[in-house]
Amino acid sequence: AKAAGRNTFAIFGNHMDELLRRRRKLEHDLRLALETRSQIEAFYQPVYSAEHKGLSSMEALARWKHPEEGLIAPDIFIPIAEEIGLIQEVGAIVLEDACGVMADLPSISMAINASALELCSDGYPLRVLSRLAKWNIDPKRLEIEITESLALGGEGHSDRNIAILRNAGVRIAIDDFGTGYSSFSRVQNLMIDRIKIDKSFIDAVQGESRPLIEAMINMARAKGLKTTAEGVETDEQSDALVALGCDSLQGFLISRPLARTAIIDLYNGSGKR
């Protein structure tokens, strides 16, 4: 039994070493990718407007094209970028690319994701607004998605930063709404423009989640907030959400996230220009 125990420990130890090595390599590779401003790019997922019955906005989503490992998902590399203090660089690359797409498609609006660390940092609003100014893009066309925990936490400068951005016309959305620190009463006091209802609710919109989603949409309406459903995958979900009065739909049913050239072709072709 002792030998077996030692064996297990040795295997476990090797596994930890392996994980650590892989993690260090990813950190190293990410630094390099961000220094050279290569490999990191944005994909764009179309958002369907129920009111306009067409595509009117999109969300920029970061992608890492690793030369050896292929595409690495943001759920993997965003936390690493945060930990090694380089999330600002990721955000800057995505924003710059998104500004280029907005310049190419003058009638669409754009959503970007902000990490808690970015939104709390002192210079964030000015960095965003000066990028928009450089591209001559109306701040009203930009929406920044933040997570509920952050928006409600009041950490650092986030409240002040949100106020600066909103005063300039930038809109603020609560991402993954309903998960984590959700609380209807607290959301009512937030300086926000939209809630994005999390996919976990949308999955069950025809069943158990229906009354909850209905309550979220009614609450949003009463507060003058817009609603977007995330992760819409079926026609049945789409029909149910439109019937409940959801403003916008996003998900694989409408489109997966697309590369920059593909999204520009799609929006030009749809006559929305």
Q: Which residues bind Ca ion (CB under 5 A)?
A: 113, 145, 175-176, 230
> Among residue numbers 232 through 261, which ones bind ligand C2E (CB under 6 A)?
232-233, 251-252, 257
Query: Token pair for residue 8?
Result: 């297990």
Residue 121 binding target from Ca ion, ligand C2E, none, CB below 5 to 8 Å by type? none
Within its chain, how far is the Cα of 129 from the centroid?
19
Q: C-beta of 143: minimal distance to ligand C2E in Å? A: 12
Residue in 75, 85, 222, 271 binding ligand C2E, rule: CB under 6 A? 75
Of ligand C2E, Ca ion, none, which one does residue 115 interact with (CB within 5 to 8 Å by kind)? ligand C2E
Q: Does 78 bind ligand C2E (CB under 6 A)?
A: yes
Task: Indicate the residue among 207 and 224 with the shorter CB distance to ligand C2E.
Answer: 207
Q: Binding string, 171-200, against ligand C2E, x = CB under 6 A?
A: ----xx------------------------
Q: How far is the CB of 98 from ligand C2E (least distance, A)?
A: 9
Which of these, 175, 65, 164, lies nearest to 113 by C-alpha position? 175
Distance in Å, CB of 247 to Ca ion, minimum: 16
For 36, phi then psi, to 5°, come to -90, 0
Contact 185, 166 (CB under 8 A): no
Report 106-165 residues binding ligand C2E (CB under 6 A).
113-115, 145
Q: Which of 89, 35, 93, 38 is nearest to 61 (CA)?
A: 93
The residue among 62 and 216 lying less far from ligand C2E, judged by its C-beta, is 62
User: Using CA atoms, how far apart are residues 99 and 110, in angstroms rounded to an integer?
Assistant: 9
What does residue 216 show for φ and ψ, rounded to 5 degrees?
A: -65, -45
12 binds ligand C2E (CB under 6 A): no
| C-beta of 6 vs 65, nearer to ligand C2E | 65
Residue (18 or 236) nearer to ligand C2E, CB? 236
Residue 110 identity: M
Taking the complex as a whole, the smallest distance from the CB of residue 89 to ligand C2E amounts, in Å, to 11
Residues 255, 78: Cα–Cα separation, whole Å: 23
Q: Which amino acid appears at position 28 of this protein?
A: H
Strands (E), 50-131: 54-66, 70-72, 109-113
252 binds, among ligand C2E, Ca ion, none (CB under 5 to 8 A by kind): ligand C2E
46 close to 258: Cβ distance less than 8 angstroms = yes
Largest distance between two CA atoms of the chain: 72
Q: What does the alpha-carbon distance between residue 74 and residue 66 come to, in Å, rounded to a whole number?
A: 12
One of 33, 58, 62, 150 touching ligand C2E (CB under 6 A): 62
CB half-sphere exposure, 24, CA atoms < 13 A: 6
- What is the binding site for ligand C2E (CB under 6 A)? 45, 61-62, 73-75, 78, 90-91, 94, 113-115, 145, 175-176, 231-233, 251-252, 257
